[in-house]
Amino acid sequence: MMKTNSGNFFEDYSIGQVIRHAVPRTLTGAERALYHALYPARGALYSSDEFARSCGLRQSPLDDLIVFHTVFGKTVPDISLNAVANLGYAQGRWLKPVWPGDTLTSESEVIGLKENSNGKSGVVWVRTTGRNQHGEAVLEYVRWVMVRKNRDTPTPEPVVPVLAPVVAPADLVVPRGLTFASHNDTLSGEPYRMGDYTVGEVIDHVDGVTIEEAEHMLATRLWQNTAKVHFDATFRPDGKRLIYGGHVISLARALSFNGLANAQMIVALNGGAHANPCFAGDTVRAWSEVLDKAETDAPGVGAIRLRLVATKGTAGALKDDSGKYLAEVLLDLDYWALLPN
Amino acid sequence: MMKTNSGNFFEDYSIGQVIRHAVPRTLTGAERALYHALYPARGALYSSDEFARSCGLRQSPLDDLIVFHTVFGKTVPDISLNAVANLGYAQGRWLKPVWPGDTLTSESEVIGLKENSNGKSGVVWVRTTGRNQHGEAVLEYVRWVMVRKNRDTPTPEPVVPVLAPVVAPADLVVPRGLTFASHNDTLSGEPYRMGDYTVGEVIDHVDGVTIEEAEHMLATRLWQNTAKVHFDATFRPDGKRLIYGGHVISLARALSFNGLANAQMIVALNGGAHANPCFAGDTVRAWSEVLDKAETDAPGVGAIRLRLVATKGTAGALKDDSGKYLAEVLLDLDYWALLPN
Amino acid sequence: MMKTNSGNFFEDYSIGQVIRHAVPRTLTGAERALYHALYPARGALYSSDEFARSCGLRQSPLDDLIVFHTVFGKTVPDISLNAVANLGYAQGRWLKPVWPGDTLTSESEVIGLKENSNGKSGVVWVRTTGRNQHGEAVLEYVRWVMVRKNRDTPTPEPVVPVLAPVVAPADLVVPRGLTFASHNDTLSGEPYRMGDYTVGEVIDHVDGVTIEEAEHMLATRLWQNTAKVHFDATFRPDGKRLIYGGHVISLARALSFNGLANAQMIVALNGGAHANPCFAGDTVRAWSEVLDKAETDAPGVGAIRLRLVATKGTAGALKDDSGKYLAEVLLDLDYWALLPN
């Protein structure tokens, strides 16, 4: 009865510790097809090999969020099995495209630890790196979670990493060879380019999707995320299955096509909050705010910094007077995407 | 707030106008696997590369209805976002097999316009063509929809295209190389060949499938069909999500295996009506009527014209005394398929 | 109305009869991806081409249970359409890996017949063999079912095959080239090897999954299993759809990763009982008991015989005092798997 993984507790982590996560995964065009079935994804670069080739890539890479979910899913048994809360993301960067046939592994380094004053839990910061079969880093990001203590151990010296609030434009990695010099706006679906977006502009993505249990479980399993709370209706007292936050990210990002069709690739994750839990039956909508714009060295390729908000309600509202997220807000994500100049 | 697509209204269309639809799509073996998960599809030619090779093809092509749904899905944002009703199909022909790895685009030409006497809507006829990455047409069909007017514009001169009620046998395109000369009836599942079917014969396909919300949404998203009414439970006053008519087509066609296992490939769509809406929880059954038979030039390959009816009730009944579809009828489709002589 | 398959009845079978089942199926990496979406499968060898190569295989083969379900699904229209009960399995052996791109066919020989004393039904034993496109056997197993009689025919001489209660270790077939000499336990997810398991040990796999209708239907259709009772909510008087027993097998096997992560490949099915029906809404858990251990000739490769039990309740309990399965038990499976020494 002792062979099953009971996960790590706060006292099991130490600064500098490196955890190599289990179960490598080969991704193929099938994950792309499933992604299209699970989310209303329509980005041309991830939908069409021909479109990707017209942008200088050898074929359509795996969607940036497929890579994120796959790398993230592997960390769950080691990082978040005993987590009380998923507190934040920072300094996420996509470093290389992942191609059909590539095999991903995932590794995390503990970079911060701070026990809570109640002595019953603490915050753990990890820097997670996803690698392909050649050992090349394809994605890295920092995540911090609140984790329960299991034993009465001494409080460690607090180490709180200094995290940039946003990835600097100079640190964005544009996939080698990418060009939007001959970007076809008819095929991509919208004519709007960098110059058409202004900082502060808010875009209501209009469409809504009502989520079913089967859908979020299919998705979450596909990323080999094993957190019980997503699958076992007997786990929570209210009999509800909590939807994996990444499912809401992918859903909102796909909905944002309508108004941001040319924001082709996510290259950085500046931050994010899962503001409220999401459950089956919720109808998810999304809106975006343009936060910043930047140049890149690649031909015709600009970078746009976006706030992506998923809600169960209407567009535009985010927090109440006290700075607390409104109950209808599910997600507040801050990312950089590549968009034609 | 103005960047999202609000779709075309009746007054936005003009005769001869060509609309190139967005988001090219590369199809792979994964779409075939998903098709088998979504529908009880068992046609040997689309299930097995080996069987397809024994019929003279280089491998199993993508199912004819995968091609139809993919080409159709692209037209939705431009043609049917403001449609009140999907009125009919005509002159549909599959022109070339689509192979795993092919990338499809879709284009529509406006060939008819007729404003309704109330001045609030009108009928738009389009001829849609799907093309592969070589620019070759793989599918064409005419569809007409009733679309709302948004502005008070002058009534255009009515243009109503003359449409053939049925694709003539001489116009059917048999895939190059196809032969049923050594068609293996044991592997295909039934011994019935062209001579075993008689015009007027009705086949009850016996099996029934109860539809779930997650299933029709997975399917409809896979074809990148964006119509809100399929996904957003808050869209209709009754809180129901309308099931994409093409989902019912694929379900009925798959059920028709039981009695028509050798009707391997659809080559023409003569007409079709979505007689009543379909919702999750409905148990769909199907029956077919043999409407006609014809020869082709390919070895052992005959053509059979079939009426395929999907119902929520029993087989055989279709319309009431006044010629109106019975409430239990979901679909009335008229198509040509290839079947061994 | 007579062209649809009404299935075979008890009187239609004869000893020595060979039934070649319809609809060959080409399997690809897409079936693997779907398997990962449908079940919480995390076995490294079936998840990663790189891991499979480190075990001496050319790439990751199709999951052993994908092969089982595909071969089994083909037999349904001929063997179990009129079955009253699925009584047992024996002598199942996986004989060769199935690779993406392989095409499977399925064939059954009738090896036993015994009419029930009521004269209304009888037991049919078949040995089913799955073959790839080269005609090589990839899987064989014996199954017996109780089938209804349809006509008043003479009672045949009873023939009851002598079946081994367990596949002898010497008869296990290890895939050619397989080695666990450099098995990476960090990547596979657990450190436990043959020496860490003792006969009689019971492992509670801890996790639970609540099943949705859409999930089991997607899975069952993927294997082209056509039994009405899985899909048609109007078929049973209680309006419930019975979940395909193989869905429960795959779910339990995937859950058993937690404690048996290194039991990489199933090589034999000694027996199995679907103890009670499973329905959507059930939360399935699993536990395993180590029944035996054996050596193989392959480097570092041992064999472990496991009882895998799926339940709707808690671990450990199986039968009541009279030897009857407890109502909460869904599955009692006996199999051999390969595990590093």
Query: Is the predicted pLDDT of residue A16 greater than 60, yes or no?
Result: yes
Q: Which residue of C has its CA nearest to A21?
A: C187
Contacts of A32 in chain B (CB under 8 A): 28, 30
Secondary structure (3-state) at B11: helix
C-alpha B17/C-alpha B139 separation (Å) is: 19
Longest Cα pair distance anywhere in chain A, in angstroms?
62
Q: Are the Cβ atoms of B22 and A208 closer than 8 angstroms? A: no
Q: What average pLDDT does range B268-291 have in this prediction?
A: 97
Is A222 part of the contact surface with chain C (CB cutoff 8 Å)? yes
DSSP-derived letter for residue B328 is T
Question: Is the minimum CB–CB distance between B182 and chain C shorter than 8 Å?
Answer: no
User: What pLDDT, on a 0 to 100 scale, did the predictor assign at position B69?
Assistant: 98
CB-nearest partner of C30 from B29, B190, B260: B29
SS3 C149: coil
Contacts of C261 in chain A (CB under 8 A): 22
8 A C-beta contact, residue A13 and residue A110: yes
Cα B259 from chain centroid (whole Å): 20
Can you give the pLDDT at residue C1? 47
* A122 phi, psi to nearest 5 deg: -165, 170
Residue A313 contacts B where some CB pair is shorter than 8 Å: no
Instruction: Indicate the pLDDT class of residue A83, thresholds 50, 70 and 90.
Output: confident
Establish if C210 touches chain A: CB-CB under 8 angstroms. yes
Q: Which residues of C touch A26 (CB under 8 A)?
A: 29, 47-50, 60
Provide the residue type at C6 as one letter. S
Maximum CA pair distance of chain C? 62
Could you tell me if B127 and B109 are in contact, meaning their C-beta atoms sit under 8 angstroms apart? yes
Q: How far apart are CA B82 and CA C141, in angstroms?
A: 56
Taking each helix axis from N to C end, the angle separating C213-222 and B213-222, rounded to the nearest 10 degrees, works out to: 60
Residue found under tokens 């890295």: A140
B137-148 and B83-94 beta bridge pairing: antiparallel
Q: Distance between CA atoms of A107 and C11, rounded to whole angstroms?
A: 61
Q: Picking from B73-82, B137-146, C186-195, which range would have the lowest pLDDT averaged per residue?
A: B73-82
The DSSP call for residue B81 is T
Alpha-carbon radius of gyration of chain C: 20
Residues 6+ apart with CB under 8 A from B103: A48, A49, A50, A51, B24, B25, B26, B27, B132, B133
Mean pLDDT of B310-318: 83
List Cα–Cα distances, B285 to A324, B296, B306, B329, C198, in angstroms. Answer: 51, 31, 16, 10, 53
Q: Which residues pair with C105 in a beta bridge?
A: C131
Compute the distance between CA of residue C51 and CA of residue C48 in angstroms, rounded to an integer.
Answer: 5
pLDDT tens digit sequence for A156-210: 999 999 999 999 999 999 999 999 999 999 999 999 999 999 999 999 999 999 9
Neighbouring CB atoms inside 10 A of C206's CB total: 18
Question: Does the structure show a pLDDT above 70 at A119?
Answer: yes
Which residues lie closer than 8 Å to A238 by C-beta, 6 or more apart?
Answer: none
Average pLDDT over residues B94-104: 98
Q: What is the DSSP letter of A159?
A: B
B311-319 CB contacts, 8 Å cutoff, 24+ apart? B311/B284, B311/B285, B311/B286, B311/B287, B312/B278, B312/B282, B312/B283, B312/B284, B312/B285, B313/B285, B314/B285, B315/B202, B315/B204, B315/B205, B315/B285, B315/B287, B316/B202, B316/B204, B316/B287
Alpha helix segments (H runs only) across chain B: 29-38, 44-47, 49-54, 64-75, 185-188, 213-222, 245-255, 257-260
Q: Which of A118, A169, B222, A335 is nearest to C218 (CA)?
A: B222
Say yes or no: B241 contacts chain A, CB-CB below 8 A: yes
Residue A59, chain C, CB below 8 Å: the answer is no
Which of the residues A217, A243, A247 would you substitute to probe the C interface, choosing the one with the greatest number of C C-beta atoms within 10 Å?
A: A217
pLDDT in the model for residue C315: 66
Tell whether ipTM is more than 0.90: yes
Between chain A and chain C, how many beta carbons pairs sit less than 8 Å apart?
129
Which residues numbered 8-27 in A keep a CB inside 8 Å of some CB on C?
20, 22-26
Say what the alpha-carbon torsion angle A129, A133, A134, A137 is, to the nearest 10 degrees.
Answer: -20
Give residue B315's pLDDT band: very low, low, confident or very high (50, 70, 90): low
Q: For residue A82, what are the contacts with CB-CB under 8 A and spacing of at least 6?
A: A6, A7, A8, A9, A147, A148, A150
- Is the predicted pLDDT of residue B262 greater than 70, yes or no? yes
Per-position b or e across A41-56, b if 16+ CB within 10 A of its CB: bbbbbbbbbbbbebbb
In this predicted structure, what is the pLDDT of residue C29?
95
In this prediction, residue B1 carries a pLDDT of: 47
Cα–Cα distance, A199 to A340 (Å, whole number): 16
| Chain B hits for A259, Cβ within 8 Å | 3-4
Contacts of C233 in chain B (CB under 8 A): 210, 281, 283
What is the CA angle C302-C36-C299, rounded to 5? 15
Pair C86, C269: CB distance under 8 Å: no
Q: Which helix (H) or strand (E) holds B209?
A: strand B209-210
Write down the number of H helices and E strands in chain B.
Answer: 8, 12
The Cα A211–Cα A278 span in angstroms is: 9
Angle between helices B29-38 and C213-222 (to 10 degrees): 120
Mean pLDDT of chain A: 96
- Hey, which chains touch B, using 3+ CB pairs under 8 Å? A, C
- Helix locations, B92-211, DSSP H: 185-188
Is the pLDDT at B314 greater than 80? The verdict is no
Element (H, E) at C64: helix C64-75
Any C CB within 8 A of A221 CB: yes
Best of A48, A241, A284 to disrupt the B interface (most B CBs within 10 Å) is A48
Nearest CA in chain B to A216: B214
Counts of helices then strands in chain C (DSSP H, E)? 8, 12
Contact criterion met (CB below 8 Å) for A285 and B228: no
Q: What's the confidence (pLDDT) of residue A1?
A: 47
Whether C208 and A226 have beta carbons less than 8 Å apart is answered as no
Helical H segments across A191-301, by residue range: 213-222, 245-255, 257-260
Q: Which amino acid appears at position A242 of this protein?
A: L
Q: A241 — alpha (psi -120 to 50), left (phi > 0) or beta?
A: beta
Interface contact flag, A47 B26, Cβ < 8 Å: yes
CB-based contacts of A147, cutoff 8 Å, min separation 6 = A8, A9, A10, A13, A80, A82, A83, A84, A121, A122, A123, A124
* Partner-chain contact B221 A186, CB within 8 Å: no
Contact A224 C38 (CB under 8 A): no
Say yes or no for a CB contact (<8 Å) between C186 and A22: yes
What's the pLDDT score for residue B84? Answer: 86
Chain Cα centroid distance, residue C341: 25
Which residue carries 């259709």 as its tokens?
C221
Instruction: Answer whether C292 touches A (CB < 8 Å).
Output: no
In this complex, do A231 and C208 lie within 8 Å of one another by their Cβ atoms?
A: yes
In this complex, do C1 and B203 lie within 8 Å of one another by their Cβ atoms?
yes
| Three-state secondary structure call for residue B73 | helix
The residue among A299, A48, A47, A51 whose CA lies nearest residue A177 is A299
B289 interface with C at CB cutoff 8 Å = no
β-pairing, C18-20 vs A329-340, is unpaired
Q: Which of C36, C49, C258 sits opposite A224 (nearest CB)?
A: C36
Binary contact (B203, C3; C-beta < 8 A):
yes
Q: C59: nearest CA in chain A? A: A26
DSSP H helices in chain A: 29-38, 44-47, 49-54, 64-75, 185-188, 213-222, 245-255, 257-260
Q: What residue in C sits closest to A221 (Cα-Cα)?
A: C37
Longest dimension (CA), chain B: 62
Annotate C157-190 with b (16+ C-beta within 10 A) or e (fewer): eeeebebeebbebeebebbeebbbeebbeebbbb
Gap from A218 CA to chain C (nearest CA, Å): 5
Please answer yes or no on whether C210 and A232 come within 8 Å at the CB atom: yes
Nearest CA in chain C to A217: C37
- Using the beta-carbon criterion (under 8 Å), do B210 and C221 form an inter-chain contact? no
pLDDT in tens, chain C (341 residues): 478 888 899 999 999 999 999 999 999 999 999 999 999 999 999 999 999 999 999 999 999 999 999 999 999 999 988 888 889 999 999 999 999 999 999 999 999 999 999 999 999 999 999 999 999 999 999 999 999 999 999 999 999 999 999 999 999 999 999 999 999 999 999 999 999 999 999 999 999 999 999 999 999 999 999 898 999 999 999 999 999 999 999 999 999 999 999 999 999 999 999 999 999 999 999 999 999 999 999 999 999 999 999 999 776 689 999 999 999 999 999 999 999 99
Which pairing describes strands A121-131 and A83-94: parallel, antiparallel, or unpaired?
unpaired
Asked if B206 and B333 touch (Cβ cutoff 8 Å), the reply is no
From the list B189, B215, B281, the residue facing C218 with the nearest CB is B215
Q: Which residue of B has its CA nearest to A37?
A: B222
Query: What average pLDDT does chain C have?
Result: 96
Nearest to C37 among A77, A222, A232 (CB): A222
Provide the shortest C-alpha distance from residue B141 to chain A (in Å). Answer: 21
Q: Please classify residue A6 by burial: count the beta carbons closer than 10 Å to its beta carbon, then call 0-12 exposed, 13-18 middle and 19+ buried.
A: exposed
Distance from CA of A340 to the nearest CA of C (A): 33
Q: Considering only alpha carbons, which residue of chain C is nearest residue B285?
A: C232
Q: B32 to chain C, minimum CA–CA distance in Å?
A: 8
**Total Cβ atoms within 10 A of residue A273:** 17
Paired sense of beta strands C283-295 and B83-94, if any: unpaired
List chain A residues with CB under 8 Å of C206.
Answer: 4
Q: Whole-structure pTM over 0.90, yes or no? A: yes
